Amino acid sequence: MTFADYKTALVTGASTGMGAAIAALLAKRGLTVHAAARGEERLRELAERTGSISHALDLTDTAAVAAELGGLEIDILVNCAGVSRPGNILSSSEEDLDEIIDVNLRGLLQLTRLILPGMVERDLGHIVNISSIAGVYNFYGHTAYHATKAAVHQISRQLRNDTVGKRIRVTEVCPGRVETEIFGRNLGGSPEAMEEAWNTYYEGYESLTTDDIVNAVDYAIEAPRHVNIGMLEIMPTFQVPGGLTFDRR
């Protein structure tokens, strides 16, 4: 199924970063795009640029999500909303863990539960889940984030089982470091935090950009209708995962 097969799309996390860029791509491709996020002002700016339909809501509020989005007929669902917090399980707060699980995992599952039956009934649809290399590789910190992204990795595979025999495709886009606001938000979200994050994580590095992720989504959706691009792992050329540590006592 190429873009010509689809009419509507729903993108979560659409107010910034990868979500906003993917929403702009889908609108440019001629789809009616529903953009969901918590940032009402940025959604308004996106709507002015792309013609998208704004849905300012919190994905962790399942009742509100069902009321706002449950009745939509969606051909492409892009689960892009996500949060992260610094530190591992030893330094995480109760609130940190709850929000990471609620946004990255529970919100994704509940929204997919609402949208997927319509795709099955119409025998048409494509789900794109934005995960992370943190879901398939181990490295220090962000324990709960790793856990939720590993779950998204498995959900993406399981959805293919759930819909076998239907013309529904599922793609997991699994990026390494992308130039977004996520590190700055982890540091507090102030202009100073954003600058610190840029200097720490991006300055001097050849990181991925949102355009790289958009191109991957474009490729997966534009593939012929008999082709399902199951997983796209994308990292900067100079970034590699892994590494073995053996601590000596």
Residues labelled as active-site residues = 145
Q: Minimal CA–CA distance to 100: which of 133, 59, 72, 49?
A: 59
Tokens at residue 163, please?
Answer: 């819909």
Burial class (CB in 10 A: 0-12, 13-18, 19+), 245: exposed
Residue position matching structure tokens 């997919």: 112
Identify whether the C-beta of residue 14 lies closer than 8 Å to the C-beta of residue 35.
Answer: yes
Would you say 85 and 100 are in contact if contact means Cβ atoms under 8 Å apart?
Answer: yes
User: Nearest Cα to 92, choosing from 138, 132, 148, 38?
Assistant: 148
Q: Which amino acid is at 53?
A: I
Q: Please give the sequence-ordered ranges of beta strands (E in DSSP) within the chain, or none if there are none.
A: 8-12, 32-37, 53-56, 76-79, 125-130, 168-175, 231-234
Task: Return the bridge partners of 130, or none.
Answer: 173
Give the distance, in angstroms, between the CA of residue 99 and the centroid of all CA atoms in the same chain. 15
Query: By C-alpha distance, which of 194, 80, 70 is closest to 132?
Result: 80
